[in-house]
Amino acid sequence: MSAMLEIVRLSKHFPVRNGFGRQTGEVRAVDDVSFSIEKGKVYGLAGESGSGKSTIARMIMGLTRPTSGDILLDGRNITGDTGTRAYGRKVQMVFQNPGSSLNPRRTVGQSIAVPLDAHGHPRSDRTRRIVELLEMVQLPAEFASRYPHELSGGQKQRVAIARALAVVPQLIVLDEPTSALDVSVQAKVMDLLVDLGRQLELTFLFISHDLSLMRNFAQQVGVLYLGKIVETGPTATVFENPQHDYTRLLLASVPVISAEEAAMRPVIPLIDGEIPTAEQLLALRNAGGPDSQRIEQ
């Protein structure tokens, strides 16, 4: 098995400028990140908001230029030519909020036709292909003439998935695909993605802060904290035996139902009765305070 996507020492720094436009510093949104995804596998990228997850997705999609580092797709370096047609055929993205990733003034059919037209799909075959794609995401064919505001959140996200599948990509970047959906709908959308992934031999980069979803869906995970990958490995290993404090914090924030699950999750000391932020936790540990014993548990 070869790597579908390889990220090598990828960095993105945003300059911070003062009122006069002089650079006074920089934000290291993504800092020296490396990971790779095997063909047909699901890689989960976890982290809180602001940890650089979406920036990595945007760099893979060519929406943001990396400061340094390489992105290798199927063994070919695509840092220079992201956005070209041949590249766009191979990588597609499902955005976080289906409410804003579908144009409110265009019908579902028109939205799905965009990638078909862009990649030279024959016009005569367009209607048939749109119906086929809608079937793949389990939506009836007559949805093609509806507008996004007539659809529910889950239906919209299915349309977004159909649109991403239109040009038969190999890698799909899922940027928090379910975070804007109801919990009951989340599971169905995830099931659909798993099925499609198996049928079409897709490789997924699954970006989320929802660790319980990731546990079921991803084979490998990387935990991103302040732009760096602090822990990576097979999902089971990372989740059962977290090495980094931040991973523990994330795991401790997952709501659990049963007592066994509660026993499995790491214990985090409370600061003033609240779960501490990652910064507070790390500072506490570095200071070797009285609670550090409990963290190591």
To another protein, the closest distance from the beta carbon of 14 in angstroms equals 15
- Minimum distance between the CB of residue 100 and another protein, rounded to whole angstroms? 4
Segment near another protein (CB under 8 A); pick from 116-124, 254-262, 273-281, 288-296: 116-124
Which region, left, alpha or beta, applies to residue 28 given φ > 0 means left and ψ of -120 to 50 means alpha? beta
Q: In this complex, which beta carbon is closest to another protein, that of residue 178 or of residue 235?
A: 178
Judged by CB, which is closer to another protein: 118, or 270?
Answer: 118
Residues 75-94 within binding reach of another protein (CB under 8 A): 83, 85, 88-89, 91-93
Residue 149 or 198 having the CB closest to another protein: 149
Instruction: Pick the binder of another protein from 16, 17, 81, 114 (CB under 8 A).
Output: 114
> Segment contacting another protein (CB under 8 A): 26-34, 39-47, 98-106, 249-257?
98-106
Q: Which is nearer to another protein, 86 or 270 (CB)?
A: 86
Q: Does 159 bind another protein (CB under 8 A)?
A: no
Residue 100 binds to another protein (criterion: CB under 8 A): yes
Which CB, 83 or 289, lies closer to another protein? 83
Residues of this chain that bind another protein (CB under 8 A) = 61-63, 83, 85, 88-89, 91-93, 95-97, 100-106, 114-115, 117-119, 147, 149-150, 160, 163, 166-167
